[in-house]
Chain A
């Protein structure tokens, strides 16, 4: 009996290993998909790489609508989770196994365009009736234009706002935040909450060191400071105006109105807000589906605090790009352009997950969550700056992390930290520019 059991175990293990090997190989050869779209009978199958599972259904819906108009073209979505999306794309980008349509973001478009992975869509856009410059917000189009050439059709965008937990405000008997508060009023509100005595472990507002996009990036711009100069040769961290744009946020941390950096490293601030440990949190509209999982109906949205009299915000957005290695360039480009059409972006907007980039489709989003004031996100667009980015963003981010964290923990003053960032960050930019 015992011997048989052992034999069985060995057999089972071998079978499992064999199966793993086989499926491992299978995935590799099957993952591409674009190579076998055989067009002999006029049928073309395009693949579209996406990372957001919340959006996959609506992407499929858009694809189906396109196929209805173009019966010879079918589009298959290829979902890869965010954590592996770019790694996988990097590995497959230069080969013909890459997807035909690539969901692109602002942080990556420049290096992908430079490496010749993305198709130049400038001419195709001009010949089409898309009229991109009229129909899309300028910062987004600029974000996907590299050296004068267009490499992506804007898909959606996000801007930021204050999310607040109604229950915490009700219990503390503090009035809800209002639209258009100044930063001073915002801080006063935090102090009021603190004075009202929040329950243990609950804070007025987590100020996430790791998310300049929702907090200090915008106030730096509002204060006429800068993070990266126009031609990406120098950072602006040591500019006194930049420092003054960050300081009020940092003060919230140092004065205990925000959880400490260590607490936010143990539990990330998004989870804190979701778990009812934060009265307010600055976040983008893309977080709404996540927040709704635990807080639906229990939170509200108001516009970001103004700074230096300005309501500057940061805009970021995705686009549809076409792989330069696609075997069906004509169909892929046509599909990408169609994805920018009113028809496609209406389908996307109605799903209520993201704000469609197209100007005449943005309003649809506002109606998708009637209990939330989503108009705030649209109002921000005209005062929004594009998320600062260059080809070495992730490397710069580590330098910023090293020193800003020390400021967040009170080990360095903000000025000292920013002055230390400057030479190291500039050296990284020099290296980038010398290549």
Chain B
């Protein structure tokens, strides 16, 4: 933040031809991403906002209905259930995922042999197609041929149909989410850890601090901006969870589907299964507002614990 301000100053002066040329080059460089963002994010967002005030049929024909969609949303019988599931999902997966990623990152930050091998292994889930991941996990949790039940039975327990039992289905999806998020978060945290000056650690070691004290008193505080980033992006991602649930819990055949519905699944159901696109747009705008509020709260809250020095 601070750096940006410092850099912004010279721009206020009249730009020389050379500077103008530099800008042109800059614009050329950002153009591909910007154009992509405008076409695939900004325009759809505006259209979606407009759709939320319209009755939109399957074929995208919109009729203005004012706030009717939002009125319907607050009478939605599944709204509380979906909100609750989404919240549970976010509150469970983000902190556990963060804790595990921190642990893995700290271990991989140590000087041991084969760190790059382990880094690759832990990062693999992030580069695997989510559909493939969901399918493999579906097999792992399979009631008859799954490894999960095989292990439980070998240990003397009794297996069950995890993905079709309403009380366990969401848990299974969360395990997959945590497993999938560790690699990506670990890379970011590791980068943050490597940016911490060695001198702190040397000083602490001389003063006789143990590894736990060093981790909690030095690594965590100095890593707090990175941790904050991981939490923010993790929360946003968790509130938008859809693909893993949709892939692992089939809407037509799985009896747990209704119980594990999250907000985005509710959105999908209305938009693409039933064809109520205006109502679905209202759901997504509602979610956008919730995510924004939560992010703003976190932005304010960070002043208390995030250390930028």
Contact = CB atoms under 8 A, between A and B. Distances in A.
Contacts of A262: 143, 161, 164-165, 255
B253 interface: yes
A90 B58 CA distance: 6
B57 interface: yes
Contacts of A268: 253
A115 interface: yes
A262 B60 CA distance: 37
B34 to A, nearest CB: 11
A263 B273 CA distance: 25
A265 B144 contact: no
Contacts of B240: none
Contact of A201 (B60, B144, B164, B250): B144
A395 interface: yes
Nearest to B165: A262
Nearest to B252: A210
- Specify the main secondary structure of chain A where it touches its partner: helix
A18 interface: yes
B272 A94 contact: no
B40 to A, nearest CB: 8
Nearest to B254: A265
Assign chain B's interface to a size class: 20 to 34
Interface string A381-397: 00000000000101101
B59 A94 contact: yes
A111 B61 CA distance: 13
Contact of A87 (B144, B257, B269, B272): B272
Contact of A265 (B36, B250, B275): B250
Contact of A18 (B32, B143, B257): B32
B267 to A, nearest CB: 14
Interface in A68-103: 87, 90-91, 93-94
Interface in B246-293: 250-255, 257-258, 269, 272-275
Nearest to B270: A395
Interface stretch (A126-134, A297-305, A366-374, A401-409): A401-409
Contact of A266 (B32, B60, B142, B258): B142
Contacts of B174: none
A268 B143 CA distance: 13
B186 interface: no
Given A21-B32, A266-B142, A93 B164 contact: no
B163 interface: yes
B59 A261 contact: no
A146 interface: no
B253 A264 contact: yes
Contacts of B142: 266-267
A201 B165 CA distance: 20
Where chain B touches its partner, the secondary structure class is loop
A115 B277 CA distance: 15
Contacts of B32: 17-18, 21
A265 B60 contact: no
Contact of B258 (A209, A265, A394, A402): A402
Contacts of B143: 262-263, 266
A117 interface: yes
A401 B253 CA distance: 8
A18 B253 CA distance: 39
A268 B252 CA distance: 11
A271 to B, nearest CB: 12
A43 B65 CA distance: 45
B190 to A, nearest CB: 16
Given A94-B60, A402-B258, A405-B255, A263 B274 contact: no
B170 to A, nearest CB: 15
Nearest to A408: B255
A83 B36 CA distance: 26
A317 B210 CA distance: 74
A94 B58 CA distance: 10
B41 to A, nearest CB: 13
B253 A111 contact: no
Nearest to A21: B36
Contact of B164 (A87, A265, A395): A265
A398 B143 CA distance: 24
A93 B255 contact: no
Contact of B163 (A17, A210, A266, A394): A266
Contacts of A87: 272
Interface string A185-199: 000000000000000
A265 B161 CA distance: 9
Nearest to B269: A398
B164 A91 contact: no
Given A265-B164, A265-B250, A265-B254, A90 B59 contact: yes
A264 B252 CA distance: 11
Contacts of A398: 251, 258, 269, 273
Given A87-B272, A263-B161, A210 B60 contact: no
B253 A93 contact: no
Interface in B31-46: 32, 36
Given A266-B163, A395-B273, 20 more contacts: A90-B60, A93-B59, A111-B275, A115-B59, A117-B59, A209-B253, A261-B164, A261-B255, A262-B143, A262-B161, A262-B164, A262-B255, A263-B143, A263-B161, A265-B164, A266-B142, A394-B273, A394-B274, A398-B269, A402-B258
26 contacts: A17-B32, A90-B58, A90-B60, A90-B275, A94-B60, A111-B275, A115-B59, A201-B144, A210-B252, A210-B253, A261-B164, A262-B143, A262-B161, A262-B165, A262-B255, A263-B144, A263-B161, A265-B161, A265-B164, A265-B253, A266-B164, A268-B253, A395-B274, A398-B251, A398-B273, A405-B255
Query: Which 9 residue pairs across A and B have the least CB separation, nearest first?
Result: A262-B161, A262-B164, A265-B164, A405-B255, A266-B143, A265-B254, A90-B58, A94-B59, A395-B274
Interface of A: 17-18, 21, 87, 90-91, 93-94, 111, 115, 117, 201, 209-210, 261-268, 392, 394-395, 397-398, 401-402, 405, 409
